[in-house]
Amino acid sequence: MSKQKYPLLTISSEIEQPYNYSLGRYGGRLLKELKHNKKIVGIKCPKCGHVYVPPRQVCGKCFVKMDEFAEISNKGNLESFTVVYFSFLDPETGQKRPVPYGYGRIKLDGADSGFLHFLEESDLKKLKIGMRVEAVFDENRTGNFKDIKYFKITKERNPS
């Protein structure tokens, strides 16, 4: 055997593969309401009464089917947030996701579960847990997650 040192190499490849994802009947209803009426729809468990956003067919706790829709407010409380500064590859676009961006977990009035969405504000000094926030809808809605552009801080006081 020769004592020559060989380089440690890697090869690179990319996998680009299209996928479809079924949103089901409830997803279709929610998107239609978002697009046409600027309304967020939730669903209520007939057994425990928990109101979920987004609507889904089964309550995981009670394991029963849910079919009672509930209209959810476009306003809510900011329960947690972060501002993301590090750059990473977004698997949805194949590009680096633009940073910094703020997003938060919002408890919309009328819902018991949280709702994740972008925040208009990405200045840490202006964000605080418990703030009131409100959905800002896109003028050109296509029936998509981004029909809500982001949530903006409102001057309302947190009722709780």
Instruction: Report yes or no: 112 and 157 within 8 Å, Cβ to Cβ.
Output: no
How many angstroms separate the CA atoms of 81 and 148, rounded? 17
Tell whether residue 27 is a contact of another protein (CB under 8 A). yes
Q: Is the CB of residue 152 less than 8 Å from the CB of residue 121?
A: yes
Q: Which is nearer to another protein, 38 or 112 (CB)?
A: 112
How many residues in the shown chain lie near another protein by CB under 8 A?
42
CB-nearer residue toward another protein: 2 or 11? 11
For residue 99, CA distances in Å to 82, 92, 94, 158 come to 12, 15, 15, 29
91-150 binders of another protein (CB under 8 A): 91-92, 97, 103-105, 113-118, 124, 129-130, 145-146
Distance (Å, whole) CA 75 – CA 131: 11
Q: Answer yes or no whether residue 80 interacts with another protein by CB under 8 A.
A: yes
- Residues of this chain that interact with another protein (CB under 8 A) are 8-10, 13, 15, 19, 21, 23, 27, 52-54, 56, 60, 79-86, 88-92, 97, 103-105, 113-118, 124, 129-130, 145-146
